[in-house]
Structure 1
Amino acid sequence: MINEEAVYYSRILTELTLSFHIIYATLGVGVPLMIMIAHWVGIKKNDEHYILLARRWTRGFIITVAVGVVTGTAIGLQLSLLWPNFMELAGNVIALPLFMETFAFFFEAIFLGIYLYTWDRFENQRKHLLLLIPVAIGASFSAVFITIVNAFMNAPQGFDLVNGTLVNVNPLTAMFNPAMPTKVSHVVGTAYMTSAFVLAAIAAFRLLKGSNHVYHKKALLLTMKVGFIFSVTSLIVGDLSGKYLAEYQPEKLAAAEWHFETSESAELILLGIMNKEGEVQYALRIPYALSILAHGSPTAEVIGLDQFPEDEIPPLYIHYLFNIMVGIGMLMIAVALVYIFSGYRGWYFIDSKPFRWLIVFSGPLVIIAIEAGWWLAEVGRQPWILRGIMRTHEGATTSNDVDIMLLLFCGLYIILGIGSVVILTRMFRKNPVERELAERKGDVPT
């Protein structure tokens, strides 16, 4: 028997948990790579500023890891409590990637601890840098394995369905499903991009607040370069994701692009709003672009929503989420490209307050893009929790206490969110980079 109220609150709580967790999880994947790059550049250039950059980023990273562990644990708990029917059906299939994700995290955590507590213990900094390799690998593979679970939910395979039960399970076939390559690549690439722009926003903010130290300028240049590289790669993978959707989840692509009727030479609808009569207004229409996105040909046929039953069409508001994600991604490419190009050309407007404020705002914007992307991925799969096999309401609990759980977890996330911001702010405000550099040179008492 379906409890509609329990389904509603279960979806709200899961969405809240994932939305909060994804912030810390994304930084947890991307920041280790940024630390490793900064440390490597510092060794290569024999530049203490980059070495210190790696050191300070590592201290802040520890806080995000701690919060990510709590929220990740909450997700695991909620899978069993809120979606017991789904776990009963698919638990033996997703158990392997979930275990591998846990293993990858512990692999990362062990070497992170060693790296953090062995500063100044190595005469050769290259040996210390080697400790970061397993940290970065573990962080990235944590994202890989947990994203494989999500990919399986979108493209389930590797089993036989007999009397409503998954039998003859082949975990490797299930893991390497058609959704895995593009989804994993997009998640990991955007995590690197997001982390780079968040760190760039922090550096730009410190410059705006009067700290004109070269340390922050080097941090800004490094993060903008990395941000540009991975924003471009995310754009390329995004294009491949569109082609995947056209072949395997055409209803999701059609809903995201407001493509209502199957047609050749399909146009791409950007922006716009939908009125009460279901008409699209104020949209930017690009001829042939959807056919190119979906199949790489301007005359290709693209399946529309008219080919699907009404109860299998995802919510049409995912079009707005798609626009937010793509729009912010394109803006980040433009901002980073202008900054890098202008720096080489000697155009100093990039040091102006307006442009630095634009970089500061890029930090929150990329977080919004990440959120929009995950909402697009999850809402776009509706009404399925396991596409084509189990609908969302069939996988949910029938408990009447989910609303109480929602309130309790809201309180937890508020405490974690405020606490992490306060700790990080105080950590770096009480130990500014100018003071730390002076202490390392012995100019002030330690």
Structure 2
Amino acid sequence: MHMLLSGYDPVVYSRMLTGLTLAFHIIFATIGVGVPLMIALAEWMGIKRGDDHYLLMARRWARGFVITVAVGVVTGTAIGLQLSLLWPSFMKVAGQSIALPLFMETFAFFFEAIFLGIYLYTWDRFKNRMTHFWLLIPVVIGSSGSAFFITIVNAFMNAPAGIKVKDGQIIDISPFGAMLSPAMPTKVSHVLVTAYLTCAFVLAAIAAWSLLKGRNHAYYKKALKLTMTAAFVFLLSSAVIGDLSGKYLANYQPEKLAAMEWHFETTAEAPLVLGGILTDDNEIKYGLKIPFALSILAHGVPNAEVTGLNDIPEDEHPPLYIHYLFDLKMVFVALMVVIATAFMLTYRFNRKLAYSNKWILRGIILAAPLAMLTIEHGWIFSEIGRQPWLLRGIMRTSEGATVSDHVDTMLWVFAALYVVLAFSSVTVLIRMFRSNRAEDEIAAKGIQGGEEA
């Protein structure tokens, strides 16, 4: 009765709180996955080239990484707590079917944390620097493994596998079958590559900012070259995975593909729609239609038939505004491609200009928040595009949420926590590096770098 009189809906508040937590956590989770790989690349370059600038790069990145790991632990713990409290019915099903990767994700984090401590403690303690480098590999494996296993759970939510449902009860459970959901290959690869891409751009933006401020030291040039080369490679990889993701949607989640492209009639030679306004009778005005592109995205050939929303029960349609989420994400990706390509081409023909052109440096600085926003938009698009399902075809979102009171109070409490964590982590990181600039550390320690970048 209280819920009816007050307009309080625990499902809505549960979705809001979970969404807020995931949106905040994914920033630190992305950094936690991508930065260890960039640290490994920098240390490898330093050892192989005998260049202490790259070794210092790895060391400085590792210092900042520790701060983000600490915040990621807090927000990750909050997610675990909220899954149990806010989504009890889902966790009951998950405990029966997909608990193995949930456990393995925790194990992967412990594996990462143990070796991270050893790696940080043993700087300059080995005569053979490769010994120290090999201690970082478990950190890279553990961080990527955490993302791998938790994304398997999300893939299961989008395309449940390894279970059978009879009379509302789950039977014939195959834990490994559940892990091998049809969504798993594209989901996992997309999450990992975009995390690497985002961190490459974030670290590139720090170097670009320093160069833009006139700190024309070889250290920053080498950092920019390393990170932008990595970003360019990961951009190409993400494009291939994005194409495969479209083909997955066409075969396993046609309603999401149709909703994101406002594709209502099942037709061959389907166009891909960018922008536009949808009228009440499902006509698209002012949209840019690219002929055959949706058929190519869905099945690889221009005359392929693509399922329309009219052939899917109306109560299973995702919200149609995901069209704009997808378009905005693609705008961000296009801008990042332009920025990365501009730097690589400029570097190819005029290295000095690549490090001094203000527009290129400003573009790289812009690419960092764009990359993180693309990550955020991608998750929002994925989760909203699965609605009304929590477990597609098995459990609706309204069936999985708690019916308890006070979720709205929890929302405000956790929001305040995230504000404090965000302010604290940003303040610590800024003070850590502003008071200890790379060129000052190089001069104080007499570090000698190799050739110019």
TM-score by length of 1: 0.96
Distance 1:162 1:412 in 2: 42
Q: Mind listing any 5+ residue stretches in structure 2 that lack a counterpart?
A: 449-453
Q: Is the 8 A contact 1:36 1:54 kept in 2?
A: yes
Structure 1 residues 442 and 188, CA gap change in structure 2 (3 angstroms) = closer
Q: CA deviation at 1:347?
A: 6.4
Q: Mind listing any 5+ residue stretches in structure 1 that lack a counterpart?
A: none
Q: CA deviation at 1:274?
A: 3.1
- Within the alignment, does 1:74 sit opposite 2:78 as a pair? yes
Q: Which residue of 350, 354, 359 maps to 1:354?
A: 359
Q: Is the 8 A contact 2:193 2:238 kept in 1?
A: yes
Task: Find the counterpart in structure 1 of residue 90 from structure 2.
Answer: 86
Q: Is the 8 A contact 2:163 2:171 kept in 1?
A: yes
Distance 2:181 2:440 in 1: 52
1:398-413 correspondence to structure 2 within 5 Å: 398-413=403-418
Q: Is the 8 A contact 1:108 1:136 kept in 2?
A: yes
Distance 2:75 2:431 in 1: 23
Q: Is the 8 A contact 1:90 1:166 kept in 2?
A: no
Task: Find the counterpart in structure 2 of residue 370 from structure 1.
Answer: 375
Q: In structure 2, give the amino acid aligned to 1:359.
A: I
Q: In structure 2, give the amino acid aligned to 1:337.
A: T
- Within the alignment, does 1:184 sit opposite 2:188 as a pair? yes
1:193-232 correspondence to structure 2 within 5 Å: 193-232=197-236
- Within the alignment, does 1:122 sit opposite 2:130 as a pair? no
Q: CA deviation at 1:69?
A: 0.7
Task: Give RMSD over aligned pairs.
Answer: 1.6
Q: Which residue of 306, 309, 330 maps to 1:305?
A: 309
Structure 1 residues 221 and 273, CA gap change in structure 2 (3 angstroms) = farther
Q: Which residue of 402, 405, 416 maps to 1:397?
A: 402
Distance 1:202 1:399 in 2: 45
* Deviations 1:111-138 (CA, angstroms, capped at 9, x unpaired): 1111111111011111110011111011
- Within the alignment, does 1:424 sit opposite 2:429 as a pair? yes
Q: Which residue of 291, 294, 305 maps to 2:295?
A: 291
Q: Is the 8 A contact 2:249 2:256 kept in 1?
A: yes
* Deviations 1:392-427 (CA, angstroms, capped at 9, x unpaired): 000000012100000000001001111110000000
Q: CA deviation at 1:262?
A: 0.8
* Corresponding residue SS for 2:98: helix
Q: CA deviation at 1:277?
A: 5.9
Task: Find the counterpart in structure 2 of residue 150 from structure 1.
Answer: 154
Q: Is the 8 A contact 2:53 2:447 kept in 1?
A: no
Distance 1:276 1:154 in 2: 29
Q: CA deviation at 1:271?
A: 2.4
Q: CA deviation at 1:327?
A: 2.1
TM-score by length of 2: 0.95
Distance 1:64 1:90 in 2: 28
Distance 2:121 2:279 in 1: 58
Distance 1:101 1:35 in 2: 22
* Deviations 1:59-82 (CA, angstroms, capped at 9, x unpaired): 000011111111111111010100
Distance 2:352 2:439 in 1: 24
Distance 1:390 1:269 in 2: 31
Q: Is the 8 A contact 1:89 1:165 kept in 2?
A: no
Q: In structure 2, give the amino acid aligned to 1:134.
A: P
* Corresponding residue SS for 2:276: strand
Q: Is the 8 A contact 1:349 1:355 kept in 2?
A: no
- Within the alignment, does 1:99 sit opposite 2:139 as a pair? no
Distance 2:430 2:279 in 1: 44
* Corresponding residue SS for 2:403: coil
Task: Find the counterpart in structure 2 of residue 160 from structure 1.
Answer: 164
Percent of aligned positions that are identical: 61
Distance 1:180 1:124 in 2: 39
Task: Find the counterpart in structure 1 of residue 176 from structure 2.
Answer: 172
Task: Find the counterpart in structure 1 of residue 329 from structure 2.
Answer: 325
- Within the alignment, does 1:441 sit opposite 2:446 as a pair? yes
Structure 1 residues 347 and 56, CA gap change in structure 2 (3 angstroms) = closer
Distance 1:26 1:368 in 2: 12
Distance 1:131 1:325 in 2: 37
* Deviations 1:228-268 (CA, angstroms, capped at 9, x unpaired): 10111011000000000000000000011111111000000
Q: Which residue of 64, 79, 85 maps to 1:60?
A: 64
Distance 1:305 1:362 in 2: 35
Q: Which residue of 257, 263, 279 maps to 2:261?
A: 257
Q: Count how many residue pairs are aligned between Structure 1 and Structure 2.
A: 443
Q: In structure 1, give the amino acid aligned to 2:361.
A: R
* Higher alpha-carbon deviation: 43-52 or 154-163: 154-163
- Within the alignment, does 1:344 sit opposite 2:348 as a pair? yes
* Deviations 1:324-372 (CA, angstroms, capped at 9, x unpaired): 2222223222211221121121165532222211110111111110000
* Corresponding residue SS for 1:109: helix
Distance 2:93 2:387 in 1: 18
Distance 1:273 1:23 in 2: 32
Q: In structure 2, give the amino acid aligned to 1:435.
A: D
* Corresponding residue SS for 1:131: helix
Distance 1:88 1:324 in 2: 36
